[in-house]
Structure 1
Amino acid sequence: MNFVTLTSDEFNAFTTKHFSHYTQSAIHYNHRVDLKGDVHLVGVKDDNGQVIAGCLLTEARTLKFFKYFYTHRGPVMDYTNQSLVAFFFKALTSYLKKQNCLYVLVDPYLIENLRNADGEIVKSYDNRAFVRTMDTLGYKHQGFPVGYDSMSQIRWLSVLDLKDKTEDQLLKEMDYQTRRNIKKTYDIGVKTKTLTIDETQTFFD
């Protein structure tokens, strides 16, 4: 395996085929390049040159000479493969040291629990092997915060599976209040419109 910097195209080809958060995308990368240039694309390729891990990281200056890095719900990889996890993060640590990194925040897009609409756990996932691997590499688990925090993204996400479902099926699977609110938009004539990028300034006026 080899730790490498990835091109935008390589990163895009990999992340579009693997479970990932929308912040781990070539669109986000290209935007940050144009906006601040404070972004890095790194990953791992196997001995055949195939990308098997990828991560978008952003940096911010701190204490004048040092930098803080954030992985934006990355990296994108098979977290059950502990040898890959160990290789990536060991190499990442070396890479970040060369960037004068003082601190890196890692919040991988890993599912801990699936819950129903009432917050009750319906399925749990065992991520302890990943946590142990990270601990041996010097990374420290910060626990499971609840609510909003300026240092991290929210942990609880509401997700609706749209695959192979009609509008009627989707409505039936929503709770009563949500269905009621959606039907109300029909009654009062709410309409949506796709805006061009030039029209986004409307939201800031």
Structure 2
Amino acid sequence: MSYEFHSDADPSLIDSFVMKQEQNTLFQCTPWAQIKENWDHLFTCVTEDDKIVAAALVLIRKMPLGTVLFYVPRGPVMDYHNEALVRFYLQHLTAEAKKAHAIALRFDPAVLSKKYAYKDRNEAHDAQNTDVIELLKKCGAEHKGYTVKIEESTQPRFNAEMDVTDDYREHLEHKTAKCIRASEHKGIEIYEGPEYIHDFEIAMHYTEVRKQVALRNEEYFAHMMKVYGDHAICMVTKLNFPKQLKKLSASIAEEKNALAQEGLKKKEKSALHQRLQNDQKEYDRLQKDYQREGKEEVITCGILAVYNDSLMELFYMGNNPDYLRMYSSYLLYAKCLDRCVELGIHHCSFGGVEGTLDDGLTLFKSNWIMNVEEYIGEFNICLNRPMYRAFDQIYPFLLKTAAKLRGKE
């Protein structure tokens, strides 16, 4: 038996292989190449007796002076404990990179160093797959280390995820379940479909303004929906002021009538008073919001997710800061997790998080029975050290600065 390297593999065969692996990731399925339109790409694989045993979507970024960067996001996908296979694949990928005048072959395998429940984050957890790191070093790869900050690597080394069970709602924290119910009670309605991509972009713009950065535009989001088709989810939440004001008005009237009844127990009367007070307060606030907005309906949140046979990735979410009290993000997360249950998907990725695990976004994600995945990190096989050093040190800074400048436009 011997290995064979293929630099122009059948995309459908690669996808079939990747989705069956423990390292299954959307970043190594071939549609991701269509999303990264500004990169060239190669669909590569290794076969043994005509059977795929390893695969890698290689993204190729054009660089100055006729050079390129070879990048394998969350890959290659293979058995990293099979030394012969690892050496064979990296040798051939490096050879392809050299032929293309690449400054480096960069990759960050979907191989875990640690995985633990967020609630156990302060406990000690032994690092796994240290032998894989050593093997990759022997193959000539330089390990970027156990980075903590998102900006320190191309892909975040820390990732938030949830192992979704059919009865996950029964295991949510009381606060999370309460926020979901509150969102529905406050009149938040969900709209789903590619026709709402413009509304989703508006929701994302709220986040851009708040963070003073430029993320992605409507064209990019529409392209994602087109590429992934039925495997893409675009949901937005909206609040209809007249509809909710009418509902609150009816509730207030009912509560007043109930309080006028004789024979109420003290506990019942107290509860009714509290509900009336809350509804009246919300009614008055909504009236002011309605007047300020000058329109009947407002977008409160949006989410864009993509899935394959066994994984869902929540890629983007935007929130209207003026309506955080509506808990729309909780409702959308719940609907995506419900979809996982419907589709039989048990792994839902919430995306990268800071390794400190204490920022606001991580705290929100931690409401969902969150697990922390720590990957072994990023590796580089340098082929043009001066160019690579300039790229590695200067390019991330330029990207970050450009994003901030676009966000202020």
TM-score (norm 1): 0.85
Asked whether the 8 Å contact 1:40–1:56 carries over to 2, the reply is yes
Q: Residues 112 and 2 from structure 1, CA distance in 2 versus in 1: closer, same or farther, beyond 3 angstroms?
A: same
- Using the alignment, how far apart are the partners of 1:130 and 1:161 within structure 2? 25
Q: Which amino acid aligns with 1:80?
A: H
Q: Quote how far apart the aligned CAs of 1:139 are.
A: 0.5
Q: Residues 150 and 143 from structure 1, CA distance in 2 versus in 1: closer, same or farther, beyond 3 angstroms?
A: closer
Q: Quote how far apart the aligned CAs of 1:123 are.
A: 5.6
Q: Quote how far apart the aligned CAs of 1:122 are.
A: 7.5
Structure 1: unaligned runs, 5 residues or longer? none
Instruction: Give 1:153's aligned residue.
Output: 155
Partner of 2:162, secondary structure, is: coil
- Using the alignment, how far apart are the partners of 2:29 and 2:87 within structure 1? 23
Instruction: Give 2:197's aligned residue.
Output: 200
Q: Quote how far apart the aligned CAs of 1:183 are.
A: 2.6
Asked whether the 8 Å contact 2:19–2:25 carries over to 1, the reply is no
> Identity percentage over the alignment?
19
Match of 1:142 among 136, 144, 163: 144
Once the two structures are superposed, residues 117-137 of structure 1 have per-residue CA deviations (whole angstroms, 9 ceiling, x without a partner) of 232457645312211221112
TM-score (norm 2): 0.45
Once the two structures are superposed, residues 83-106 of structure 1 have per-residue CA deviations (whole angstroms, 9 ceiling, x without a partner) of 211111111111111111102221
Q: Quote how far apart the aligned CAs of 1:72 are.
A: 0.8
Q: Superposition pairs for residues 101-140 of structure 1, below 5 Å?
A: 101-118=102-119, 119-120=121-122, 124=126, 126-140=128-142
Structure 2: unaligned runs, 5 residues or longer? 202-216, 219-409
Instruction: Give 1:29's aligned residue.
Output: 33
Partner of 1:193, secondary structure, is: strand
Q: Quote how far apart the aligned CAs of 1:150 are.
A: 6.1
- Using the alignment, how far apart are the partners of 1:72 and 1:121 within structure 2? 30
- Using the alignment, how far apart are the partners of 1:122 and 1:195 within structure 2? 43
After superposing the two structures, state which structure 1 stretch, 48-57 or 118-127, moved more.
118-127
After superposing the two structures, state which structure 1 stretch, 89-98 or 177-186, moved more.
177-186
Larger radius of gyration: 2
Q: Which amino acid aligns with 2:109?
A: P
- Using the alignment, how far apart are the partners of 1:75 and 1:188 within structure 2? 46
What's the C-alpha RMSD, in Å, of the aligned pairs? 2.2
Once the two structures are superposed, residues 148-184 of structure 1 have per-residue CA deviations (whole angstroms, 9 ceiling, x without a partner) of 2164211222211124x22xxx124333443332232
Instruction: Give 2:82's aligned residue.
Output: 81
Q: Quote how far apart the aligned CAs of 1:42 are.
A: 0.8
Q: Which has the higher strand share?
A: 2
Instruction: Give 1:42's aligned residue.
Output: 44
Asked whether the 8 Å contact 1:21–1:73 carries over to 2, the reply is yes
Q: How many residues align?
A: 197
Match of 1:188 among 186, 189, 211: 186
| Structure 1 consecutive aligned stretches of length 4 or more whose deviation exceeds 4 Å | 121-125
Larger RCO of the pair (alpha carbons < 8 Å, separation 6+) = 2
Is residue 2 of structure 2 the alignment partner of residue 4 of structure 1? no
Asked whether the 8 Å contact 1:11–1:54 carries over to 2, the reply is yes
Q: Quote how far apart the aligned CAs of 1:66 are.
A: 0.6
Q: Which has the higher helix share?
A: 2
